[in-house]
Structures are given as structure tokens and as C-alpha cells.
Amino acid sequence: MKSKIAEAIRTRYEPVGIIWTDEKPAEAKGFKKGKWGCVMWMLAAAAKGKIAAFSKETYGCWGGGVGLGFGNQYLAFPGGIECFYSFLSSGNEQTPKGKEIAKGIEKFVTKDFLEDFLHGEGYLKSPELVKNFVENMPMMDVPSRYVVFKSLKAIDPSQEQPQVIVFLVNPDQLSALVILANYGREGTENVTIPYAAGCQTIGVFAYKEAQSEYPRAVVGLTDISARLNIRKQLGKNLLSFAVPWKMFLEMEKNVGGSFLQRPTWQSLLRGIND
């Protein structure tokens, strides 16, 4: 499927469809069972034309399992969810259990992970705030065996319907998408930017919006860990814009006659991917 939006804003990378399916594409890339990996690496690969597939056994990391819709995978974090609360905030070094777990995993994890496990990532001020973050996460169990990332141009909507379409865009293109998301609607808040991991803003937060009568688009890649992880694949100037399928079709219909065909946008288009 070709996207009128992608053509109008001249995205460097193809939009990516997120599909729920019980069949794993034969050519799909993926993580090995029990091996760590960043879901956003696979998003980058799909934006370049590859196919990626995930399951409850092959989601890459705990936050990625949550983000893709495989339930509360934080429960599987080393030392349990209490250690995750400390990991995202102030660290596990101050507790006997934390020190014990760190010693046990030392030979199996990277130095960076062990450092963060002990001293914390500092993304929230306290373990209590991380607990609140987890409790407010729109977790779900997808009704399929696999979650697949596939370039939109390789998707035939008559054969498979994506749940979400993800654009990877620079600031000018993001501005255009925010305007287009509000172009045919009442109100001014048809786009949201939640605090969450990169994979969660393209996954469960967008899935939640898809269940609404008037779904909103979700801006992501404000997660600095994810930004660091994909810098080599995609560069440093991109954010994600995840659009539930129903809203994507709505926005596609609104390209013609909109600001995207007017002089201001056409002027911004000059050198947009330089």
C-alpha cells in the first residue's frame, strides 16, 4: 500500500505497519529466545524494508514485551518487579536483595546494564513513582501469537490489516503530521505524547488509542535509551508518530486540498531530508 501522507511529507523511511497475526512470516527477523534486544532496532529494520516478528518468548527486553502487548513482562525482570522499580529510578545497590541479584547476574549481563541495575537509570525520582508508572501503563495481551513489523508498501490491507502505522519523521514532518491529525476534527488534542519507552509509544499506547471512537496519534522516541539504540541505524533527528489504523485512513483521505498542497508546506519541503 502506498501512503499519500508519506509522499506528501517526503519521509526518508517507509511507514511501518504493526500487525497482529498467528502466522510468522518465513522471512521475518527476530530475537532469539531469552536474548536481550531493543524492539526499536527491529522498527528501524522494517522501515528499511525488512520484516520483524515477536512473540511472548522473543520480545527482546522486559519493557519491549510490555510495549508489544505481551502482558506485564516487568514481572520477569531480574529480582522481580520490585527490582525493576529501583532499576528505573534510584538503583538496587542499597538493598541486600539488590546486591545479591547483581552478584548473580554479573557474568550474564553487560557492564552498562549492571551499572544501571545497581545505581539506577534515573528516569523517575523514586521506586514509588516507577510503581505508579507501571500501574498506569495500558498493558494488554494481544489476541495473537505474533506481533509483526512490516513496511507499509509491503502490506495489502485486503489481506492483513495493521493495528498501527508508524512514521519516522524529522521536526518539520512531525509538525505536518500534528496539523493533519487535527485537520478534520474538533478539538486541539488529537495527538498525545506520553512518558514511556520507545516501543511502548508505538505499541500499547497506540493500541489503547485504537480502541477509542476517536483515536489519537502518539508521538514517541522521546525515550533517550531508544534514541541511543537506533542512532546508528536511523540517525539522530527522528521521532516516531504512531497512528491507529482507523485514524490513518482518516488522515490519508484528508491530504488532498489540505495545507500539504499549499505554499508554506511546499517551501518547507525544500531540502527536508538534508
Write the pLDDT tens digit of every residue in 5-64.
999 999 999 999 999 999 999 999 999 998 999 999 999 999 999 999 999 999 999 999
* 3-state secondary structure (DSSP) of residue 240: strand
Read off the pLDDT band of 267 (50, 70, 90): very high
Amino acid at 155: I
pLDDT at res. 63: 97
CA distances from 5 to 35, 139, 163, 259, 263 (A): 36, 30, 17, 12, 17
Through-space distance between the first and last CA atoms of the chain, rounded to whole angstroms: 26
8: left (phi over 0), alpha (psi -120 to 50) or beta: alpha
Look up residue 234 and give its DSSP letter. Answer: H
- In angstroms, the CA 138 to CA 216 distance is 15
3-class DSSP state for residue 146? strand
Q: What is the mean pLDDT of residues 80-89?
A: 97
Is residue 271 very low, low, confident or very high in pLDDT (cuts 50, 70, 90)? Answer: confident
Pairing of β 191-192 and β 217-220 = parallel
CB 15 within 8 A of CB 152: yes
- Looking at residue 221, its pLDDT comes to 97
- Structure confidence at residue 108 (pLDDT): 87
> DSSP code of 127?
H
Q: CB–CB of 251/225 below 8 Å?
A: no
DSSP state of 56: T
The number of C-alpha atoms within 13 Å of 201 and in the hemisphere containing its C-beta is 24
* Model pLDDT for residues 186-242, shown as the tens digit of each residue: 999 999 999 999 999 999 999 999 999 999 999 999 999 999 999 999 999 999 999
Residue 114 sits at φ, ψ, to 5 deg, of -60, -40
Predicted confidence (pLDDT) at residue 111 exceeds the cutoff of 90: yes
Confirm whether pTM is higher than 0.85.
yes
Which residue bears the cell 490489516? 161
Neighbours of 12 (CB within 10 A): 16
SS3 49: coil
What confidence category does residue 274 fall into, taking pLDDT thresholds of 50, 70 and 90?
confident
Region 244-249 average pLDDT: 98
